[in-house]
C-alpha cells in the first residue's frame, strides 16, 4: 500500500509541475471547437473514467500481491 501512495505522490507532482507549461500555450482551435459544442466535457469524463479504472485496477493488484506475499511468508 505504501507503493501506491508513493506512486500517487510522484504522479501528482509530475502533473502539477507541468500545468504552467500548458497555460503558456496559445489557444488551440480544436479545444475551442470542443468547448463551444460542449463535447469537451465528454472528453474529460472519458479520461476520468479511464484514470479511475486504472487506479482501481492498481489497488486490486496491490492487494492481491500483498495477500500472496503474506501467504508466502506464512508458508516459509
User: pTM for this one?
Assistant: 0.56
The cell 495477500 sits on which residue?
67
Domain hosting residue 22, numbered range = 2-75
Cβ atoms of 4 and 59 within 8 Å: the answer is yes
Name the pLDDT band for 29 (thresholds 50, 70, 90): confident
Domains contained in the chain, number: 1
Q: Retrieve residue 22's grid coordinates.
A: 500548458
Higher pLDDT: 50 or 16? It is 50
Name the pLDDT band for 34 (thresholds 50, 70, 90): confident
In this predicted model, what pLDDT tens digit does every residue of 1-14 receive, in sequence order? 567 777 777 777 77
DSSP code, position 26: P
Amino acid at each position: 500500500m505504501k507503493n501506491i501512495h508513493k506512486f500517487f505522490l510522484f504522479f501528482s507532482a509530475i502533473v502539477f509541475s507541468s500545468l504552467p507549461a500548458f497555460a503558456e500555450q496559445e489557444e488551440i482551435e480544436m479545444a475551442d471547437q470542443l468547448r463551444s459544442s460542449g463535447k469537451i466535457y465528454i472528453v474529460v469524463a472519458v479520461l476520468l473514467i479511464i484514470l479511475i479504472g486504472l487506479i482501481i485496477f492498481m489497488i486490486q493488484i496491490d492487494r492481491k500481491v500483498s495477500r500472496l506475499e503474506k501467504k508466502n511468508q506464512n508458508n516459509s
